[in-house]
C-alpha cells in the first residue's frame, strides 16, 4: 500500500508537467507553507483534534503505522490511544461504531484504507448513517467524516481491488455529502469544513495526489462544502473536473493557451450536494463544455454534470458536451493495460479541440 | 434480595402495555389503518422489560424492526408511538419512521434499524464514546437469533470485547427468523456459547420470566458500568404471533404455537406473584384497567393527529 | 414484507388507469396465458431449473415461505431442499457462496429480500464477482443471477430502508449486467436470458409491478440482454424510462394522444450495458426527450441517459432534455410525504408539455 | 504411520520454492521491477505446504493478498507466477492480476482476493456445490488472524457448519495484520476456540512444523470428504518479513523478529530430518540446487516475456 504511495511520489515528481504552479490558491502575502496533499490532510486532522475534544480517529493501522498512506503518522504519538484508535478489520462496524459515537455527541473521523473496501460498509454508510436523521424525524444528527483514498494515476499498478473511483455510489444517496479535493489548500480547508459539518461526509482522497505540493495558509480557514471552485477562468470552453483530473484540466489549459483557446476550469470539489449554479454559469458563458472524471464512464459522475449543463445552459451550447472518463473496465494490473484505463492530459486536450471544432 | 413491589408492578405494567399496544397495532393493521408492516413483540415482553428495567434512562438501547416492545420497555410514551405507526406528525419520528424505525430518543434510544444486525455497531460506538468520556452509561443492542448470523454481530462482539466496552448484547431467541427455525441456521443449541469466541461471559435465561431476565441483566449492567466489559445475554422466548401481523405462518404448527402460549410471560407473572402472595390480584387488575385505558387513549390520540405537512417533505434530510 | 406485497396488489388494481392493455407484447395467435409479473418470474425460474440441473436458488426464506414477496412459492415443494436453499441472514456470504458455486460450474440464482439490504453485499457483488474474470485473465467466469426487489409506488409505506431504487450502484461497475423489467413478458424473457448468461447479472424487480398482469407466451423464449425496447413508437417526443416508470410513460402517452402529441416510449429494460443506439435513434427521430426514473435524481440513471442523448443526438435536439425522477430524499413513511417522493404520471405529462412548448 | 521420503522431500521442495520465490520477488520489487506491492509469505511456508500436500489437485484453495505461497504449495508453476507478478502476458492471469490476485486455476484455485475475508464465502459456495453434486472434493479458504474479525469469516463459518460442507478453514496466525498485533484485536489466546461458536472442531498446530500441519490437515480433509463437515485449523506461525516488501515495521522490535527467525520452518525441517536420519543432507542439498535454478529460470522467463497487448485491454471484462 505504501508501495503505491511511493510510486505516487516518484511518479508525481517524474511528471514535471504537473507542477504545483498550475494552481495557486493561498492568498498572496499571508503566511503559508508548502505542504503536500497528504500533509495538508494531516494538518487539518491535527488542528481539528486540538480544537475539539469530540473529534477522534478510528481506523485500521492508523496508529503508529500511520495508516495505509501514512496520513495519520505522528498523530498517535501526539494524541494517544484514546484519540487515534486502531480497529480490527471490520469496515462495516468501523463506520457503524462511528455513527453510534456521533449519535452521542462525538465527531469521529474514520479511515477506510481504500475506497474499494467500502463495499463492505455500504450498509452502515448509505442505509444507516445517511438515513438516520430523516427516519427519526430529526431527533438526531450524525456528524462524522469517512476518509477514503481512491483512484489511481498512471503506473500505480495495484489492480482491480485497489484502484477504483466510487464517488457515485455515495453521491446518489441523499443524506450524505461527498467531497473530493484536488489540491493541498482544498484538502485542508474542505476537511476542516467536513469535520465541523453536522452530517455524514464522505471525504475522498485521490491517492496519486498525496505527493502533490501547494501553499497552505498557516491561519485557520475552511473551504465551504457544497460549492464548485473555478480554478481557472476562461472565455472559450469550460472543463468540469474533480480530483486528479483538475490537474490534467489545468495542464490542458496551459497547453491550449498558446493556440488561443481560453479554458475555464470548474473543480467539482464537492461532488454532492452538487453546485449546479456554478457549472451552469460557466457553461452559459463559454457555450462549450468538456467533462473529465477518473471514474468509469457509464453511470459515472459525468452523466449528472451533463444533465446539469442541459438543465442550466441548453440554449447557450454551441457544441455537444464531450466527456473524458475512465474506461468501463476493472483496472488491470499490467502497466501496458492500466495506462489506457484512465484519462490522460492528452485526452482532455483532444476533447477541447473536438468541442472547439464543432 | 427480593424485588420491591413497586418494581414488580412496573414490570407488569410495561409488559402489559406492550401486549396491549401490539394487539391494538396489529388490529389497526389488519383493518388497513396502518400502512407498511407491523412486527409484533408478543411473547417477548418479559425479555425487553426485564432488560430495560435494569437500565437507567440515559443508558441507550439499539432497536430492530421489532422494537415497539423495546421502546415501551424503556419507558416510551405509547400515544406518540401509536401516532408514529399511523404516520402522524405527532409521532416520535414525526411520521417519517413508522413501525420499523420507531425510536424514542427522549427515553434512551439509539434508533431502530430494520436492516438485521445493523444496530449492533451503533451500540458498540455509543459504548466506545461512553468509555472515552469516562461515563458509566451502558449501551444495549437487541438482536434476534437470526441476527447473530450477520457479520455485524461478529464484528460488534469482537470490538466490544477487545476494548471491554460497556455494552450488553441482548440476544432474543424467539426461535424464528421470518419462516426459518433457529435449528436450521445455528448449529449450537446454547447460543450463549457464542460469547466464548470473544472471551466474554455468555448468560442464558428463561425469557418468559421477567424477574430472571431482570436479575441477569442487572448483573451484566453492573459489570459493564464497573469497566469489566461486555456480556452476551440470551433470553429464550418465542414469537407467539406471525413474523408480521397477518403473516400466514406456513412453516410451523398451531400446536407448537399453542404450547408456547401456555408459557406466555404475563399470565405466568400473575400466577406466580399472586400464588406467592407477593402481589395481589387486585393490584394487577388495577393495572389491567389502567393500561387498557391508556392504549385506547393512544389509539384515539393517533387517529386524531394530523398527517405530516407535505410542505415539510424536505426537512431532516440534512442537519 | 408480504404486507408491502398486499398493498401492491390492492393498489395495483385500485389504479385502473394503469391497465394491462397499455402494453401488449405476446405475439397475437401464439398460445399464451395472463400472468402477473410475479408469476412470470416464478415461471422463468421453474422452466430454467427444469432445463438445467446446474440452476439452483439461494436466499432467505425462499423455501416453503416463498421469499419476502412469494416469488419462489411452490418451488421448494417442486424441486426440494437441494435446489431451493434457505440461508441464514448473511447477505454478503449468500452472494459470495453463489460466486463460489458459479466458479465450479453451478448457475445460482440468489435472492436478496430488498435491494436496500444489498449494501451488505456490495463487496461480493461489485468488488469480487464483477472483477474475478478480468483479475484472473479470463481463467474463470461467474454465471449467476442476483434477484432483488426494489422501488416503491404510491402508498407502499415501508419507509427509508425498504423502498430504494439502486440500479446505479451496480450499473456503474463494469463486469456486471443490470436488468429491470417492466412487464410480465419481459420479466420472464429477461430472467431466462440472465440465467443463461455467463456473467453476473443483477436482476431488479419493481415491487409495485408484482401484481401487474400481462400475456406471456407458453413457448420458451428469451428477451436478449443489452437492448432497450421501444414499447410505443411515436413521432413527436421520446420518453426514456424503466421499470414502473414505463407504465407511467405509456399512460402519459395515452393521455397526450388526444392532444395530438405522438409519444415514443423507450424502455431501458437492460440498464447496463446500456443500449445507446436505440436511445440515440429515437432522440434523433423526435428531437425531444423526457427521461423518467424512480431512483433519486442526483447521480441517478437519468444522467447517463442524458449524456447518451447528448452524444448521439445533440444536433437533432429541439429542446433541452427534461427529467422526472424520485426526490433526493430517503423515503419517508407517512403517506402524505411519501406521495411526493416518487414520480407520478402527471409529472411525466407535464414534462412532455414542457419539451413540446420549448 | 511415518510419511514417505518422497512426500517429505516434496514438502521441502515446495517450502523452499516459496522461500526462494518470495526472496526473488521482493528483490525485484525493491529494485523497482515489480510494480504495485508484494506481500511475502516467508515464515509461513510450512503452513501452506502442510495443508496443500494434504489436498488433491481438484480440491480448491481460496487465496488472499498473500497467496504466492498458497499457489506454489498447491503446485503452481513458478515461471508463470513470476511472469504474473511482473505483469506479463505469459502470467497466470495474463498480467491482469499481479501479485495480489495471482491464482493458478489449473492446479486448483478459486482465486486470490485482496479484500480481507472475501475469499471465505467463495470456498463455502464451492463446498456447497461439491455437496449438492455428491462430489468428495474439499474447499480450503486461507485467512490470516486479522481476517477472522471480518463479517465474512463469521458468516462463512456458520454456513459451512449448518450445512456440514466439505470446507477446511485454515487460519494462519502470523501474529500481525499490517501493523496490528493479534493480541490487540482478538481477546482469546487460542484462536481455535472460535470454532465452538459454530459447533465444529477447532484444531491448533505449530505452523512452523510442516509435518504437524500436514497431519492435522489430512485428518480434517478426511473428515470433510466423508461428509462430517468443516474444521477450523489454526496454524501458529509468524510473518518474518514486513507486511509488504520494504515495509518499515515501526510496530515491532528487531529482537522479536530475530527470535522467530530461529524457528523458521526450513532450517528446522532440515535439522530434524537429518538428525533423525529420515532424510540425508545430500538429498536436501540437491533440492536446494534444483530450486535455486528453477527460480532463476522463472525470473528469466518473466523478464523475457512480453507485456499484454494494449489491443486486448477490453478482453475478459464480460464472458
Ligand atoms: C440484513 C437483512 N436481511 C433480511 C432482512 C429481512 N428480515 C426482516 S426481519 C428478518 C428476520 C430476523 O430474525 P431475527 O433476527 O431472529 O429477529 P426477529 O424477527 O425474530 O425478531 C429478516 C430476514 C432484513 N431486514 N435485513
Ligand atoms: C477488508 C479489508 N480491509 C483492509 C485491507 C487492507 N489490508 C490488506 S492486508 C491487511 C491485513 C490482513 O491481516 P491478516 O488477515 O492477518 O493477513 P496477513 O496480512 O497477516 O497475511 C489489511 C488490513 C484489506 N485488504 N481488506
Ligand atoms: Mg427471531
Ligand atoms: Mg496476519
B151 interaction partners in chain D (CB closer than 8 Å) = 150-152, 154-155
Q: Are D237 and D15 in contact (CB under 8 A)?
A: no
Mutate to test the interface with B, among A54, A55, A136, A175 (most CBs of B within 10 A): A136
CA distance C61 to C59: 6
* Interface membership of C77 toward B (CB under 8 Å): no
CA distance B230 to B163: 9
Cell numbers representing residue B110 in the block: 439509539
Q: What angle do CA B145, B151, B156 make, to 5 degrees?
A: 85
Nearest alpha carbon to residue A231 among A220, A217, A212, A245:
A245
CB contact (8 A) between residue A157 and residue D308: no
Nearest alpha carbon to residue D246 among A1, B16, A122, C288:
A1
Q: Mean of the pLDDT values across residues A182-199?
A: 98
CA distance B49 to B291: 15
Neighbours of D315 (CB within 10 A): 18
CB contact (8 A) between residue A337 and residue D95: yes
Pocket test for ligand 1, best of B62, B178, B237 (most atoms within 8 A of CB): B178
Q: Mean of the pLDDT values across residues D84-98?
A: 98
CA distance D285 to B199: 47
Residues of C taking part in catalysis:
91, 162
pLDDT reported for residue A154? 60
Closest ligand 1 atom to Cα of B65: 9
- CA-based nearest distance A234→chain D, Å: 36
pLDDT reported for residue A26? 87
Alpha-carbon distance values, D11 to D49, D103, D118, D217, D288 (Å): 6, 20, 28, 14, 13
Cell numbers representing residue B208 in the block: 418468559
Is A15 a residue whose pLDDT tops 70? no
* Chain segment B28-53, per-residue pLDDT in tens: 999 999 999 999 999 999 999 999 99
Is D146 a residue whose pLDDT tops 60? yes
Mean pLDDT (chain A) is 94
Picking from A41-55, B159-173, C147-161, which range would have the lowest pLDDT averaged per residue?
C147-161
pLDDT reported for residue C14? 40
pLDDT band at C154 (very low <50, low <70, confident <90, very high): low
Is A1 a residue whose pLDDT tops 60? no
Q: Are C331 and C160 in contact (CB under 8 A)?
A: yes
Residue A320 CB contacts under 8 Å (≥ 6 apart), including other chains: A355, A358, C310, C311, C314, C315
- The Å distance, Cα B145 to ligand 1 centre, comes to 9
pLDDT reported for residue A28? 87
SS3 for D235?
Answer: strand
Residue A135 CB contacts under 8 Å (≥ 6 apart), including other chains: B93, B96, B97, B101, B111, C159, C160, C161, C330
Residue A218 CB contacts under 8 Å (≥ 6 apart), including other chains: A30, A31, A32, A33
* Interface membership of A108 toward D (CB under 8 Å): no
Write down the catalytic residue from A5, A48, A60, A91.
A91
* Positive or negative torsion for Cα C93, C94, C99, C105: positive
Alpha-carbon distance values, B65 to A140, B117, B191 (Å): 19, 10, 21
What are the φ and ψ backbone dihedral angles of A280, each rounded to 5 degrees?
-60, -45
Interface of C with B in 42-71 (CB under 8 A): 60-61, 63-65, 68
pLDDT band at A8 (very low <50, low <70, confident <90, very high): very low
pTM: 0.97
What are the φ and ψ backbone dihedral angles of B111, each rounded to 5 degrees?
110, 160
Q: Mean of the pLDDT values across residues C314-334?
A: 97
Kindly list the protein residues whose Cβ atom lies closer than 6 A to any atom of ligand 1: B 65-66, 114-116, 144-147, 174, 176-178, 239; C 60, 89, 91, 113, 117, 120
Question: Using N-to-C axis directions, what is the helix angle for D281-303 and D78-85, rounded to 10°?
Answer: 40
Residue D271 CB contacts under 8 Å (≥ 6 apart), including other chains: none
* Chain segment C177-197, per-residue pLDDT in tens: 999 999 999 999 999 999 999
Across-strand partners of B172?
B144, B235
What are chain B's partners, defined as 3 or more CB pairs within 8 angstroms? A, C, D
Q: What angle do CA A300, A302, A305 make, to 5 degrees?
A: 130
CB contact (8 A) between residue A92 and residue B151: yes
* Chain segment C96-122, per-residue pLDDT in tens: 999 999 999 999 999 999 999 999 999
Cell numbers representing residue A335 in the block: 502497466
Between these two residues, A10 and A171, which has the higher pLDDT value? A171
Cell numbers representing residue C222 in the block: 428469451
Is C2 a residue whose pLDDT tops 50? no
pLDDT reported for residue B1? 72
Cell numbers representing residue D101 in the block: 490476485
Whether residue A39 lies in the annotated active site = no
Q: Are B179 and B210 in contact (CB under 8 A)?
A: no
pLDDT band at C15 (very low <50, low <70, confident <90, very high): very low
Q: Outline where chain D has alpha helix (H).
A: 5-30, 45-52, 68-73, 78-85, 119-132, 151-162, 182-185, 210-225, 254-261, 265-275, 281-303
Q: Are C48 and C78 in contact (CB under 8 A)?
A: no
Is A3 a residue whose pLDDT tops 50? no
Assess whether the previous peptide bond of C273 is cis (omega < 30° from 0): yes
First and final C-alpha spacing in chain C: 44
Return the residue of B nearest to A123 by Cα: B118
CB contact (8 A) between residue D155 and residue C102: no
pLDDT reported for residue A155? 65
Is B247 a residue whose pLDDT tops 60? yes
Which element (helix H / strand E) includes B203?
strand B202-206
Q: Are C69 and C147 in contact (CB under 8 A)?
A: no
pLDDT band at A157 (very low <50, low <70, confident <90, very high): confident
Between these two residues, A245 and A5, which has the higher pLDDT value? A245
Q: Which DSSP string do the residues of C103-134 spell out, in sequence order?
A: HTT-EEEEE-SSGGGGGGGHIIIIIIIHHHHH
- CA-based nearest distance B129→chain A, Å: 5
Is C13 a residue whose pLDDT tops 90? no
Nearest alpha carbon to residue C327 among B310, A225, A180, A138:
B310
Mean pLDDT (chain B) is 98
Nearest alpha carbon to residue C41 among C222, C192, C244, C225:
C192
Return the residue of B nearest to C119 by Cα: B115
Whether residue A312 lies in the annotated active site = no
Mean pLDDT (chain D) is 98
Is A4 a residue whose pLDDT tops 50? no
**Residue A282: is it exposed, middle or buried by C-beta count within 10 angstroms (0-12/13-18/19+)?**
buried
Q: Mean of the pLDDT values across residues D175-182?
A: 98
- The Å distance, Cα D38 to ligand 2 centre, comes to 13
What are chain C's partners, defined as 3 or more CB pairs within 8 angstroms? A, B, D
**Residue D218: is it exposed, middle or buried by C-beta count within 10 angstroms (0-12/13-18/19+)?**
middle
Residues in chain B: 319
Is D40 a residue whose pLDDT tops 70? yes
CB contact (8 A) between residue D155 and residue C88: yes
Amino acid at each position: 500500500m505504501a508501495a503505491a504511495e511511493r510510486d505516487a511520489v516518484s511518479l508525481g515528481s517524474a511528471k514535471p508537467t504537473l507542477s504545483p504552479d498550475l494552481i495557486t490558491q493561498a492568498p498572496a502575502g499571508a503566511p503559508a507553507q508548502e505542504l503536500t496533499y497528504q500533509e495538508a490532510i494531516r494538518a487539518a486532522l491535527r488542528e481539528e483534534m486540538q480544537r475539539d475534544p469530540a473529534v477522534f480517529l478510528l481506523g485500521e493501522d492508523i496508529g503508529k503505522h500511520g495508516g495505509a498512506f501514512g496520513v495519520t503518522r505522528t498523530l498517535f504519538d501526539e494524541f494517544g490511544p484514546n484519540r487515534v484508535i486502531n480497529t480490527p478489520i471490520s469496515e462495516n462496524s468501523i463506520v457503524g461504531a462511528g455513527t453510534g459515537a456521533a449519535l452521542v455527541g462525538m465527531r469521529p473521523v474514520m479511515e477506510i484504507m481504500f475506497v474499494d473496501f467500502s463495499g463492505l460498509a455500504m450498509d452502515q454508510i448509505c442505509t444507516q448513517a445517511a438515513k438516520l436523521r430523516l427516519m427519526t424525524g430529526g431527533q438526531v444528527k450524525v456528524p462524522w467524516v469517512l476518509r477514503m483514498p481512491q483512484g489511481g494515476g498512471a503506473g500505480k499498478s495495484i489492480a482491480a481491488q485497489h484502484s477504483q473511483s466510487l464517488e457515485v455510489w455515495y453521491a446518489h444517496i441523499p443524506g450524505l455529502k461527498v467531497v473530493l479535493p484536488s489540491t493541498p489548500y482544498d484538502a485542508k480547508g474542505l476537511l476542516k469544513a467536513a469535520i465541523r459539518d453536522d452530517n455524514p461526509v464522505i471525504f475522498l482522497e485521490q491517492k496519486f495526489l498525496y505527493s502533490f505540493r501547494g501553499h497552505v495558509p498557516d491561519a485557520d480557514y475552511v473551504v465551504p462544502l457544497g460549492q464548485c471552485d473555478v480554478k481557472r477562468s476562461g472565455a472559450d470552453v469550460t472543463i468540469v473536473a474533480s480530483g486528479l483530473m483538475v490537474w490534467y484540466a489545468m495542464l490542458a489549459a496551459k497547453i491550449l493557451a498558446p493556440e488561443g483557446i481560453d479554458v475555464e476550469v470548474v473543480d467539482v470539489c464537492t461532488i454532492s450536494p452538487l453546485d449546479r449554479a456554478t457549472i451552469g454559469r460557466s457553461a452559459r458563458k463559454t457555450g462549450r463544455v468538456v467533462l473529465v472524471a477518473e471514474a468509469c464512464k457509464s453511470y459515472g459522475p459525468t452523466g449528472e454534470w451533463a444533465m446539469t449543463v442541459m438543465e442550466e445552459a441548453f440554449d447557450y451550447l454551441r457544441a455537444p458536451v464531450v466527456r473524458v472518463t475512465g474506461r468501463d473496465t476493472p483496472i488491470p494490473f499490467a502497466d501496458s493495460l492500466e495506462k489506457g484505463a484512465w484519462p490522460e492530459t492528452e485526452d482532455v486536450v483532444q476533447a477541447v479541440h473536438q468541442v472547439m471544432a464543432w | 434480595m427480593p424485588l420491591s413491589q413497586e418494581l414488580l408492578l412496573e414490570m407488569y405494567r410495561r409488559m402489559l402495555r406492550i401486549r396491549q399496544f401490539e394487539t391494538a397495532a396489529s388490529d389497526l393493521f389488519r383493518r388497513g389503518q396502518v400502512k407498511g408492516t407491523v412486527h409484533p413483540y408478543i411473547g417477548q415482553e418479559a425479555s425487553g422489560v426485564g432488560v430495560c428495567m435494569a437500565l437507567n434512562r440515559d443508558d441507550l438501547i439499539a432497536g430492530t424492526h421489532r422494537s415497539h416492545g423495546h421502546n415501551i420497555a424503556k419507558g416510551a410514551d405509547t400515544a406518540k408511538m401509536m401516532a408514529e405507526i399511523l404516520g402522524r406528525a405527532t409521532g416520535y419520528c414525526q411520521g417519517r419512521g413508522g413501525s420499523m424505525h420507531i425510536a424514542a430518543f427522549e427515553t434512551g434510544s439509539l434508533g431502530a434499524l430494520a436492516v438485521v444486525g445493523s444496530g449492533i455497531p451503533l451500540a458498540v460506538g455509543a459504548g466506545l464514546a461512553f468509555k472515552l468520556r469516562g461515563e458509566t452509561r451502558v449501551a444495549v443492542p437487541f438482536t434476534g437469533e437470526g441476527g447473530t448470523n450477520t457479520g455485524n454481530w461478529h464484528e460488534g462482539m469482537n470490538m466490544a470485547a477487545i476494548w471491554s466496552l460497556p455494552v450488553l448484547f441482548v440476544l432474543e431467541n424467539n426461535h424464528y427468523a421470518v419462516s426459518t427455525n433457529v435449528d436450521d441456521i445455528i448449529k449450537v443449541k446454547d447460543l450463549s456459547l457464542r460469547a466464548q469466541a470473544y472471551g466474554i461471559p455468555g448468560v442464558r435465561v428463561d425469557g418468559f420470566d421477567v424477574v430472571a431476565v431482570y436479575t441477569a441483566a442487572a448483573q451484566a449492567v453492573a459489570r459493564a458500568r464497573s469497566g469489566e466489559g461486555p456480556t452476551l445475554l440470551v433470553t429464550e422466548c418465542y414469537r407467539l404471533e406471525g413474523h408480521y401481523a397477518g403473516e400466514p405462518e406456513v412453516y410451523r404448527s398451531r400446536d407448537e404455537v399453542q404450547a408456547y402460549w401456555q408459557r406466555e410471560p404475563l399470565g405466568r407473572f400473575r400466577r406466580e406473584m399472586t400464588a406467592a402472595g407477593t402481589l395481589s390480584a387486585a393490584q394487577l387488575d388495577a393495572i389491567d384497567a389502567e393500561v387498557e385505558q391508556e392504549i385506547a387513549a393512544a389509539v384515539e390520540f393517533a387517529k386524531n393527529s394530523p398527517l405530516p405537512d407535505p410542505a415539510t417533505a424536505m426537512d431532516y434530510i440534512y442537519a
